[in-house]
Structure 1
Amino acid sequence: MRSLRGLLPTTGDYDLRPRTLRADLAAGLTVGVVALPLALAFGASAGVGPAAGLVTAVVAGIVAAVFGGSNVQVSGPTGAMAVVLAPIVAVHGAGAVALVAVLAGVLVLVAGLARLGRVVTVLPWPVVEGFTLGIACIIALQQVPAVLAVRIEPGGNTLVTALDAVGRAVAATDLTPTLWALGTVALVAAGTLLLPRLHAAIPASLVAVAVATLVAELTDAPVARIGALPDALPLPSIPAIDPGLLRELAGAALAVAALAAIESLLSARVATSMNRTAHHPDRELVGQGLASVASGLFGGMPATGAIARTAVNVRSGARTRLAAVVHALVILAVLYLATGPASAIPLAALAGVLLVTSVRMIPAATIRAVLGAGRGAALTFTVTAVVTVALDLVQAIQVGIGVAAFLALRHVARSTDVHREPLPGPAEQGDEHIALFRLEGALFFGAAERVFGTITERSVDDGVLVVILRLSRIGMLDATGARALGELIGDLEASGLTVLVKGVQGEHRTMLRRVGAIDALRHPSHLIDDLGDAVVHARSHVRRSAVAEVTEPGGTGRAHG
């Protein structure tokens, strides 16, 4: 129960002192104005309609703010989620999204209760940035049909669909709708980019969309509009559950849950770096899981933490989660009071907002930093971005992590090395018959064969009688490395050499015993802790070998004590 209480809301989540209260109200109002066109746009982009985007922003925004693990996180529909949902809508229809939201929310909630919140820290930076770039490209490509005023059935590959839209627009005999749509997009994009230069407090995207809508209304422009929107929140209901559909949507729900968890935790981490306050990853997953479940019950989309809106919230002076609640209430007020004007918004205007959003998702400086971080980082970044666009987001993360892991293992394997060292202290007669090898790094499947091959080459046919293996600097030893070490000892002993193993760490000794490597030694005393003792032992073997050669001329010259 004590552990569970750490995942629940507390009175300490809020600060109602007048100064803090004013800051939260102002920040919430600012974020609400910024989020309104994005909520409409992401709902339309996902294929579930602008109304679903509004519902998600309101319901999930409030639930995630109250139950989440960050004081300044803002949640709702996002571009990445819209990218994942679009194929689901194309195959199963918009009605399946509510069920996916509930299923995915339950999975994220369970992940939070299972304390998996810190798993995002294992994601390599190039994978995250490549993933983000791929999403940005997909969001931009998804807008091409709306930008060109071409209607295309959703569900195909985003790049192919965009190229098809371009082909249809070029072949069209009447270019009037296309020119109007392009003009609307240009107006919104220019306003969104240029208005903040006049004054930072101007809600640029909202003003740009409002101006584009006014122009379209006054000129009776031939552009597609959002259409009718609900003037109230729908009543909550449990989505229809069909066993067959449930099985078909299981994979989609898992992908949505993974995306919701990753994006929310990344957003919370960004917020923490911006305002220097802590966040609770496990509680964040609990809050996001509950938010998606609630959104699904109201007919909305799965929700995640939104990095862009969270950044606006922090920069606007938000202190507590009350700001995120206010942001949702602002959108709720629009839903009840202004759905009439909102229904006249051109779809091309929302496309303009999303195009600007996609450009801003990953700054050019970040791309240069990743590409300049080395060939490995550049390869991981590029592969992740390409797979995100060509296949899907979950596979992109899997492939990106696989590439990063392979490169990391290759680097670790290359850093594992073996050096032949001179014996410590004054030289003695016979020392040339003793080979002292120092192994350092990670002795695992990726490096064992190369390292042990080097030892064999430098030991056999070099007049060596005794080999000392220094293992005290081995940082990691896996079963493959331990087994290969046993085989090396056995091969050297079989060739007539005596092998002494020095400085085996406690946990490594257990592994060596389990795979039988210790048993390959000729005598238990050949496992030694001190280098000085190992050298004394080796010299005694060499002296006995010399005596054996004098007294037994036909002997092998190898020590067997």
Structure 2
Amino acid sequence: MAMRTDLRLAAFTPKLITVLGEGYSLDRLRRDAVAGLTVAIVALPLAMALAIASGASPDKGLITAIVAGFLISGLGGSRVQVGGPTGAFVVVVFNVIAQHGYDGLLLATLIAGGMLIVAGYAKLGSLIRFIPHPVVTGFTAGIAVIIATSQVKDFLGLPIDQVPADFIEKWRAYFAALVSVQWTALAIGAGSLALIAALRRWAPRLPGFLIAIIIASAAAALLHLPVETIGSRYPDIASGLPAPALPDVSFAKIQAILPSAFTIAFLAGIEALLSAVVADGMIGSRHRSNQELVGQGVANIASALFGGLPATGAIARTATNIKAGATTPVAGMLHAAFLLLFVLLASGLMAYVPLAALAAILFVVAWSMSEQDRFLLLLRMPGSDRVLLLLTFALTVLVDLTVAIGVGVTLASLLFMMRMSRTVDIATGLDDVRSDDQDGGEEIDQRAALPDGVEVFRIEGPVFFGVANELLDTLRRIGRRPKVMILRMRRVPFLDASGAAAIDQIVRQAAAGGTSVILSGVQPQPLAMLEHTGLGPSGGRVSHSPDLATALHMAAAIAAAPESASAG
């Protein structure tokens, strides 16, 4: 009992406590500080760009990276996870702000944080492996397309006051305004994009995003270029961190934003755990998935209280953290501290950043998110996987992310159950049947005839609601009613309520026709389900045998008994 309690406590212990207990040296601190500064340099322009793409001001992105980033590292279940705003949230956040205002977003983020904490303590962290790759890739690629599309206006400097929310209508507005392209903005954007691409190819260790932002901002300021900047669009950005405050809460508002809160929680959990898995592969460690969800939940609650955006683990920033030499969660916490210093000491410099340069950064982010290689690979997979991928992608782009996730996961589940139902085999007699003795011994003599009045059915595979009707239909096709029916179930690993109900119906129909039923070699899980329906050994409605040989002896005895005795 004590050992089980210790394991449970360990599963919900932040990695920070674990690594500090191992001993924290000055060398570790030096390496974590270098990594934290490196990630902060990468996160600085990215946090601002993601906030603007989400329909918020750039300072909201920095607040998120500072507050949530600090807590995700400090309370999470990964050694090197770095958190903050990510591209996955752009679509959801933009829609929530458009429909419910920024206060509605704060409430949705607050509720999503609570959902993540509950999910963590409910030990749902391991469910990440049950989300199919076509669904994840489909909606990730769809988000990438939406992010890139949302930046066309700023990249080209198009004079559109209100960009339509609908994807197709958005592109119609872009094409209608192409005659008014601002060539200076296009030059800034294209130059920034080219510089980032060149640095990634020939100098990947340099912070391409930050260098592009610095050069673009310097050019716009020194040459007095007529381009829109953060300062011109957001003239009233406050410096420093705001005081924490609760958003306005009402029952009607909670009802309205609840679907969005669920989507935020779902995306935060998925991306955080994916990022932690990637980090594990890079450093040879193992994260604590449930504690990671708890840490993500606390971080999102805190971000909402400080007026920030939803946050999760960021795969690219986590990978940068590892490559820069991070060894503990302290690196992620220091990355947040360095960002805080910038906000306190140099936030006024944000005003000079051209929006076209931030659009270029988001084009690169969208391209990285699209996972084009995996997308093309999945297109070569079997038809059902292709359909799942393309449907999720299309629904994400053209309809809504929440709908895409719901439909994708539901369809994937239905396809899985359909495939599983095809693995269930129901055969009659002793033909082509292996012995189901406990040790999997020699085959029963295939030429031995069954005793008169005895019929044997072998069921292989999980019996659940998807195959329950097929089981009934197969057993109903018996030409004559035997005196004894043996159901061989040693190779049934799982039985759900529908499967148990189907077997119960078979037993009832057999009893009505005077047929006795023997269940042979039932495994523990199916046996427990059958006990609930009165078909266990203690129920008395059916006989049980440990193996087929014993069942045949029992059946022969029943079949040889007088009709009145067998009927009783």
- Report 1:247-258 matches (<5 A): 247-258=255-266
- Structure 1 residue 470 corresponds to structure 2 residue 470: no
The CA deviation string for residues 69-123 of structure 1, in whole angstroms up to 9 with x for no partner, is: 2221111111122221111221233344444443433443344344443333332
- Structure 1 residue 315 corresponds to structure 2 residue 315: no
1:442 counterpart residue number: 462
CA RMSD for the aligned pairs?
3.3
Deviation at 1:283? 2.5
Deviation at 1:65? 1.9
1:108 counterpart residue number: 116
How far apart, in 1, do the equivalents of 2:322 and 2:412 lie? 32
- Structure 1 residue 89 corresponds to structure 2 residue 109: no
How far apart, in 2, do the equivalents of 1:229 and 1:446 lie? 59
The CA deviation string for residues 6-38 of structure 1, in whole angstroms up to 9 with x for no partner, is: 445527348643432332222222211111111
How far apart, in 1, do the equivalents of 2:454 and 2:259 lie? 61
Task: Identify which of 458, 464, 479 aligns with 1:460.
Answer: 479
1:552 counterpart residue number: none
Give the partner amino acid of 2:155: V
2:73 counterpart residue number: 65
How far apart, in 2, do the equivalents of 1:294 and 1:518 lie? 52
Task: Identify which of 164, 189, 200 aligns with 2:172.
Answer: 164
Task: Identify which of 231, 241, 249 aligns with 1:234.
Answer: 241
| Uncovered stretches (5+) of structure 2, i.e. residues with no partner | 432-443
Deviation at 1:298? 2.7
2:201 counterpart residue number: 197
Give the partner amino acid of 2:549: G
- Structure 1 residue 133 corresponds to structure 2 residue 141: yes
1:12 counterpart residue number: 19
Q: What TM-score do the two structures reach when normalised by structure 2?
A: 0.85
Q: Which moved more, 1:536-545 or 1:34-43?
A: 536-545
How far apart, in 2, do the equivalents of 1:391 and 1:491 lie? 49
- Structure 1 residue 536 corresponds to structure 2 residue 521: no
1:291 counterpart residue number: 299
Determine helix, strand or coil for the equivalent of 1:386: helix
2:38 counterpart residue number: 30
Determine helix, strand or coil for the equivalent of 1:361: helix
User: Is the 1:97–1:300 contact (alpha carbons within 8 Å) kept by the matching residues of 2?
Assistant: no
1:182 counterpart residue number: 186
- Report 1:333-372 matches (<5 A): 333-372=341-380
Call closer, same or farther: CA 1:294–1:528 in 2, change over 3 Å.
closer
Q: Which moved more, 1:431-440 or 1:65-74?
A: 431-440
2:420 counterpart residue number: 412
1:385 counterpart residue number: 393
User: Is the 2:184–2:226 contact (alpha carbons within 8 Å) kept by the matching residues of 1?
Assistant: yes
% same residue: 35
- How many pairs are equivalent? 543
Give the partner amino acid of 1:183: A
1:554 counterpart residue number: none
User: Is the 1:27–1:317 contact (alpha carbons within 8 Å) kept by the matching residues of 2?
Assistant: yes
1:555 counterpart residue number: none
| Uncovered stretches (5+) of structure 1, i.e. residues with no partner | 549-557
How far apart, in 1, do the equivalents of 2:129 and 2:485 lie? 43
Call closer, same or farther: CA 1:207–1:426 in 2, change over 3 Å.
closer
1:551 counterpart residue number: none
How far apart, in 2, do the equivalents of 1:45 and 1:391 lie? 19
1:501 counterpart residue number: 519
Q: Which moved more, 1:373-382 or 1:24-33?
A: 373-382
Call closer, same or farther: CA 1:201–1:512 in 2, change over 3 Å.
closer
Call closer, same or farther: CA 1:143–1:304 in 2, change over 3 Å.
same
Deviation at 1:159? 0.9
2:506 counterpart residue number: 488
How far apart, in 2, do the equivalents of 1:340 and 1:428 lie? 91
